[in-house]
Amino acid sequence: MRIAHLIMAHKGPAQLERLIRALAHPQADVFIHLDQKTDYAPFAALAALPQVRFITHRFNVKWGGYSLTLAALESLREMLQTADYDFLNVLSGEDYPIKPIPMLHDYLAQHMGCTFLEYERDDSPWWQANRNRVAQYHFTEFRFPGRYLVQRLLNLVLPSRTVPLFPKLYGGNMGGWYTISRACATYAIDFVDAHPELRRFAWLTWGSDEFLVHSILLNSPLASTITNDNLRYIDWSSGGASPKILTTADLPDLLASSRFFARKFDASHDAEILNRLDQLQSSTSLP
């Protein structure tokens, strides 16, 4: 059973190296998508680490834009062409394992063919609050003067947009961080390839990483293989557009969690939490 980890990174080469080393396992490879806007030089040494490689095609990722979803899908495509991985695990550079990595491998080996993706159904309160992500026009991917004025005017005069192809939408604030089977990754990539109208629609949405892959897969014949759990601990209690930055004060909750990863961490804010997680993982004996 082989795992390919995809890390979507744009900063923090030292913290990224810690994450790569924490993921190390004989049956795992690590792929890094480094945002096109980010200088490669501070990250170059990471390519020399065992079982690590950089994604060839780097995208200029814009927060909230379809470019993040596109970068992930195209990275998954490159990974699938590299080897016969059983699972593809999408992480950010601010994620970190909260359980020993051999436990993740053992768990996934017991769930071959499964996909772990967290979502809300389209009649949920989350979707009621976030319907404008798809119903309105968003110019997040564009950089021309007055774009937000044009966006506002279009949304005033044009009817609500309707997502093509999907009878129902799925998604949620657990984001585009998931562990999916090779079959699901292949299906999602092939579906987007076969439906250029969906890609055109998605360019004018907001936060598609939190719903597009989810909606593709949960409206597919593979829906029965999906577990509504992305195996990540994410704390949204601080409010706002981003989850809470986890610190040593969160350690008891992290250790009590049944999940394998958590986000998000910032070593410049609190490196001790990563030190403690490393110590606990290295001292844990597995059966």
Distance CA 117, CA 105 (A): 17
Cis peptide before 264 (omega within 30 of 0): yes
Instruction: Say what angle helices 66-80 and 182-194 make with each other, to 10 degrees.
Output: 120
- Token pair in block for residue 274: 């990563």
Nearest 5°: phi and psi at 234? -135, 130
What angle do the packed helices 272-283 and 13-23 form, to 10 degrees? 10
Q: What is the model's pTM?
A: 0.94
Extended strands (E) in 199-243: 226-227, 232-234
Q: Is the dihedral of CA 97, 41, 80, 209 positive or negative?
A: positive
CATH match for 3-283 among 3.40.1000, 3.40.50, 3.40.630, 3.90.550: 3.90.550
183-211: b or e for each residue (b if 16 or more CB lie within 10 Å)? bbbbbbbebbeeeeebeebbbbbbbbbbb
- Sorted by where each begins, the domain ranges of the chain are 3-283
pLDDT in tens, the chain (287 residues): 999 999 999 999 999 999 999 999 999 999 999 999 999 999 999 999 999 999 999 999 999 999 999 999 999 999 999 999 999 999 999 999 999 999 999 999 999 999 999 999 999 999 999 999 999 999 999 999 999 999 999 999 999 999 999 989 999 998 789 999 999 999 999 999 999 999 999 999 999 999 999 999 999 999 999 999 999 999 998 777 789 999 999 999 999 999 999 999 999 999 999 999 999 877 654 43
